[in-house]
Amino acid sequence: MRQAALWIAILLLLSLRGGPAFAYADHLESQEGEQWTQVGKASYYSSRLHGRRTASGEPYDETALTAAHPTLPFGTLIKVTNLYNDRSVVLRVNDRGPFVGHRVIDVSQIAAEQLGMIRTGSVRVRVEYYNDEDEAEEQSVD
């Protein structure tokens, strides 16, 4: 009985600090500053959800570059890269989820199209904070 209570307490503490939100990520790396990366499965919203409220309160718009993440703050800009074709898109977090299928992020319909994942439904991706200074450096080198 005591061991069961201990496991319940451990699971409760993990859920309070956000641990299980990353339980299904293939890779999670946290470093100083905003050098955060997560690798795992991404899926995309059904078009049936267009117009429904997201966790942030704004309606889901399948034509907006938005995403659902379990823990990142609303408004966070992230760069999502399809690891099969190396296509990337910058998205704004405005919803919570996904909560099924060992996935780390849900993206909008338009983002899924840009990532080239419509036919497969889900793909392995890298999620990282978007840093527009890095983009500017890449463009000036070319």
pLDDT tens per residue, range 45-95:
988 889 899 999 999 999 999 999 999 999 999 999 999 999 999 999 999
* Average pLDDT value for residue range 105-119: 97
Residue ranges and CATH numbers for the domains of the chain are: 22-141 (2.40.40.10)
Distances in Å between the Cα of 18 and the Cα atoms of 2, 11, 81 are: 25, 11, 24
- Is residue 8 very low, low, confident or very high in pLDDT (cuts 50, 70, 90)? low
* Average pLDDT value for residue range 126-131: 94
Residues facing 74 on adjacent strands: none
Q: pTM of this prediction?
A: 0.73
- Average pLDDT taken over every residue of the chain: 80
Q: For residues 86 and 130, give the distance between their C-alpha atoms in angstroms, rounded to a whole number.
A: 16
- Is residue 21 very low, low, confident or very high in pLDDT (cuts 50, 70, 90)? very low
